[in-house]
């Protein structure tokens, strides 16, 4: 990453600066002797992965999660990309509007940030600005309540409140619901809420590296720990914080346990090196079998939330372009996104399209068609 920004208490900022410099020195030394974490990653990308893994770990191990959030937000890494958007805060519901200075899309995006339902800081704001800039669409990002202070159903309630707020002035056929990681979970679960309450579906739902099962699922959950910035134990901890007393249960709170046939079209993106890869693949395959309108693109060598690399990685640039194309097709022409070179699944089981790549395998064995380390 080309830029580093710090904020918050000086002690946290200094510790984070020392950490990223230590990780950088170690990584450059390993690369000098040919010891790369992943063959296609340069030193800068590996530094970012290792740094954010460290920050997540340190933050989540704090006795007070508020201290953890201050640590997590104390240092941000950014690309050189500039996002030409205006930012306006909203008080009720609490959130932020991001509007491109030159709006080119008729769509409005309702965006739910990631962070395991526990974190929301500068990295989330950067994501929101990036999506508004690249899609040319105005975007509303609600500041929903966070775990562990506010477990389920707080997030589901806030998602529905944000939906009602946006649709008060904007027709559903112009609205795209999207989210990354836990935000992808939130977006997918909102579709079920809309179905249950008899409300109209959006034009499209986009899940970027979405969390589709709050429990343990798939070999990649542990096999990809070495590559990803989010670790398997973190995902399971986020699930426990979401439903601490198991009042609602894993099945009720996991998108993979629900049927999306007849709901909004789904467009998903995933990275082959992320821990959530297998559960995303399984979700997509199951929903295709159910008859849902779903497309899944996967970039083999990418980690969780790789879209943030923007122009820094060609895979991220391609992913952002695909997001824009998916939105344009559904909102402007009501047409599905054509399969691309990274498409694994497209269409329902009654109308399957494939791009020549292996389909997501059963029994969580996705690693067999991925490139080895």
Give me the tens of pLDDT residue by residue for the chain, a chain 373 residues long: 579 999 999 999 999 999 999 999 999 999 999 999 999 999 999 999 999 999 999 999 999 999 999 999 999 999 999 999 999 999 999 999 999 999 999 999 999 999 999 999 999 999 999 999 999 999 999 999 999 999 999 999 999 999 999 999 999 999 999 999 999 999 999 999 999 999 999 999 999 999 999 999 999 999 999 999 999 999 999 999 999 999 999 999 999 999 999 999 999 999 999 999 999 999 999 999 999 999 999 999 999 999 999 999 999 999 999 999 999 999 998 899 999 999 999 987 654 444 444 445 444 333 322 322 2
Domain total in the chain: 2
pLDDT in tens, 316-329: 999 999 999 999 99
pLDDT in tens, 81-116: 999 999 999 999 999 999 999 999 999 999 999 999
Residue 373 inside a domain? The answer is no
Residue in the structure block whose two tokens are 């090196």: 273
Reduce the secondary structure of the chain to three states and give it as a string: CCEEEECCCHHHHHHHHHHHHHHHHHHHHHHHCCCCCCCCCCHHHHHHHHHHHHHHHHHHCCCCHHHHHHHHHCEEEECCCCCCEEEEEEECCEEEEEEECCCCCCCEEEEECCCCCCCCCHHHHHHHHHHHHHHCCEEEEECCCCCCCCCCCHHHHHHHHHHHHHHCCCCHHHEEEEEECHHHHHHHHHHHHHHHHCCCCCCEEEEECCCCCCCCCCCHHHHCCCCCCCCHHHHHHHHHHHCCCCCCCHHHHCHHHCCCCCCCCEEEEEECCCCCHHHHHHHHHHHHHHCCCEEEEEECCCCCCHHHHHHHCHHHHHHHHHHHHHHHHHHHHCCCCCCCCCEEEECCCCCCECCCCCCCCCCCCHHHHCCCC
Residue 137 inside a domain? The answer is yes
Exposure string (b/e) for 117-135, b if CB count within 10 Å is 16 or more? bbbbbbbbbbbbbbbbbbb
Same domain? For 25 and 121 the reply is: no
Q: Is 111 left (phi over 0), alpha (psi -120 to 50) or beta?
A: beta
Looking at residue 347, its pLDDT comes to: 84
Same domain? For 7 and 135 the reply is: no
Same domain? For 49 and 172 the reply is: no
Same domain? For 49 and 95 the reply is: no
Same domain? For 118 and 154 the reply is: yes
Residue 212 inside a domain? The answer is yes
Same domain? For 208 and 233 the reply is: yes
The residue out of 78, 99, 118 marking a domain boundary is 78
Residue 51 inside a domain? The answer is yes
Same domain? For 33 and 116 the reply is: no
Same domain? For 279 and 330 the reply is: yes
Same domain? For 8 and 155 the reply is: no
CATH code assigned at 300: 3.40.50.1820
The residue out of 78, 103, 133 marking a domain boundary is 78
Residue 24 inside a domain? The answer is yes
Residue 369 inside a domain? The answer is no
CA torsion through residues 177, 264, 349, 329, sign: negative
Same domain? For 218 and 336 the reply is: yes
The residue out of 78, 112, 145 marking a domain boundary is 78
Beta bridge partners of 176: 109, 204
Same domain? For 71 and 89 the reply is: no
Determine the structural domain holding residue 360 and report its residue range: 85-364
Residue 358 inside a domain? The answer is yes
Same domain? For 74 and 89 the reply is: no
Residue 329 inside a domain? The answer is yes
């Amino acid at each position: 990453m080309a830029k580093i920004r710090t904020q918050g208490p000086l002690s946290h900022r200094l510790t984070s600066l020392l950490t990223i410099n230590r990780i950088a020195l170690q990584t450059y030394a390993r690369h000098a002797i040919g010891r790369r974490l992943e063959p296609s990653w340069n030193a800068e990308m590996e530094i970012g992965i290792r740094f954010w893994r460290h920050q997540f770990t340190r933050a989540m191990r704090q006795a007070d999660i508020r201290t953890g959030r201050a640590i997590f937000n104390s240092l941000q890494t950014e690309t050189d990309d500039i996002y030409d958007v205006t930012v306006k805060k909203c008080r009720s519901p609490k959130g932020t509007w991001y509007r491109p200075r030159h709006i080119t899309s008729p769509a409005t995006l309702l965006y739910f940030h990631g962070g395991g339902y526990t974190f929301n800081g500068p990295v989330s704001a950067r994501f929101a600005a990036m999506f508004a800039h690249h899609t040319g669409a105005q975007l509303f990002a609600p500041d929903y309540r966070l775990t562990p202070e506010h477990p389920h159903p707080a997030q589901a309630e806030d998602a529905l409140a944000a939906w009602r707020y946006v649709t008060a002035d904007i027709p559903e056929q112009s609205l795209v619901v999207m989210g990354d990681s836990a935000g992808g979970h939130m977006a997918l679960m909102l579709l079920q809420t809309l179905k249950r309450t008899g409300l109209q579906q959006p034009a499209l739902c986009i899940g970027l590296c979405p969390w589709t099962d709050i429990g343990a699922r798939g070999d990649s959950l542990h096999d990809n720990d070495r590559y990803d910035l989010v670790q398997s134990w973190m995902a399971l901890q986020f699930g426990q914080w979401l439903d601490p007393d198991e009042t609602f249960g894993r099945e009720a709170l996991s998108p993979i346990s629900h049927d999306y046939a007849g709901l909004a079209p789904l467009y998903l993106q995933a990275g082959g090196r992320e821990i959530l890869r297998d559960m995303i693949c399984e979700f997509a395959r199951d929903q295709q079998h159910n008859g849902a309108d779903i497309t899944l693109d996967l970039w083999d060598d990418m980690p969780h939330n790789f879209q943030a690399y923007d122009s820094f990685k060609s895979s991220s640039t391609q992913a952002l372009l695909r997001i824009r194309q998916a939105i344009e097709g559904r909102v402007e022409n009501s047409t599905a996104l054509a399969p691309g070179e990274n498409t694994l699944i497209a269409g329902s089981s009654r109308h399957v399209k494939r791009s020549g790549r292996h389909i997501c395998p059963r029994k969580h064995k996705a690693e067999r068609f991925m490139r080895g380390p």
